[in-house]
Amino acid sequence: MASRKSKRVSFDNSSKIVEITEENESEFSESVTISKDEFDPDSMNIDLTTGKKRRNIGQSSEKSSSNGGGDSKEEFTVPLLTTSWALVPYHLLLLLFNIVVDGTIMEDVREGVQKAFYGLSVLSLIFAVLVNEAVKGEKTKNARSDGPTNFEFFYVALSFPLSIMLSVPVYLTFLLFGAPAGRLNALTFYLASHVSVIAFYPLLNVYKFTDKNAKKIWWKLLTFQVANWKFNQVYCTAIGTLVGCWLGVLPIPLDWDRDWQDWPITVLFGAYAGGFLGGLASYAYGCYVYSKMKSRIS
């Protein structure tokens, strides 16, 4: 019987990909499938970008210990949620559209920024509940959710003022990067409040400060040491918000003399657009890689 070179996919007990190796086998090969719920980039032993096999830290530590090597520990990584449409911040696009159509920000910047923050607060609270349900669904995949508990509602409410408190370091960061103070100081702080809620509030509801490894997780989040960060939708939302702020500064010094060039309108628009596009791009990338891996396996 003729033989051909093919790829063999091995699974662990949780039916997630462990490794892909090449071997010679008969023409008759058995195909396997993987569901989207079981798609976990952190457990895969291949690089999803290049498709090449990567070194498994856990396996290498076991091998080194069995061979009498040193005490090597598995590196701590930030937990990752399964790609989900519920984690895309659609409310940011809706709020941005409402700000532009309403037009208050063009007539009175301070009043427009304040008014926009009220809408952001309400929709962010609703989005936080959806995020909490997604986190709970990851932990109990086979159990049916009865909706948010009283504690979860309490945490959502408590983490909101905490995210507003984080606007203080965001505000100081803006000043270090040259944001105006003086008579525009209040507008700069309002901008920092918007950015803090957009970037940090979802993260606080995914990576709770009540978790056991909260300190390690937040250290890696704030120092940009997140493995497979392209699959992390809430993290990409935060990064997109910051990048959008940076791009939003570019039109301000241009000599066009337009009302929308007043501080901080373009930066605020950039934060909303960047946050939405960051979360959407992460979702699209996760779906693309999942479909690509599924086609390779089958």
Task: Give percent of the chain above pLDDT 90.
Answer: 50
pLDDT-based confidence at 73, cuts 50/70/90?
low
- Provide the pLDDT for residue 207: 92
- Provide the pLDDT for residue 37: 53
Report which of residues 263 and 137 the model is more confident about.
263
- Provide the pLDDT for residue 206: 92
pLDDT-based confidence at 269, cuts 50/70/90?
very high
Q: What is the pLDDT of residues 187-240, one digit of tens each?
A: 999 999 999 999 999 999 999 988 888 999 999 999 999 988 999 999 999 999
Domain edges within the chain: 85-297
Q: List, as one string, the DSSP characters of the chain.
A: --EEEEEEEEE-TTS-EEEEEEEEEES--------GGG--GGG-SB-TTT--B---HHHHHHHHHHTT-----PPP----PPP-GGGS-HHHHHHHHHHHHH-HHHH-HHHHHHHHHHHHHHHHHHHHHHHHHHHHHHH-TTSPP----HHHHHHHHHHHHHHHHTHHHHHHHHHHTT---GGGHHHHHHHHHHHHHHHHHHHHHHS-TTSTTHHHHHHHHHTT--TTGGG-HHHHHHHHHHHHHHHHHTTTTSTT--GGGSTTHHHHHHHHHHHHHHHHHHHHHHHHHHHHHHHHH-
pLDDT-based confidence at 70, cuts 50/70/90?
very low
- Provide the pLDDT for residue 146: 67
Q: What is the pLDDT of residues 133-159, one digit of tens each?
A: 888 776 666 556 667 788 888 999 999
pTM: 0.74
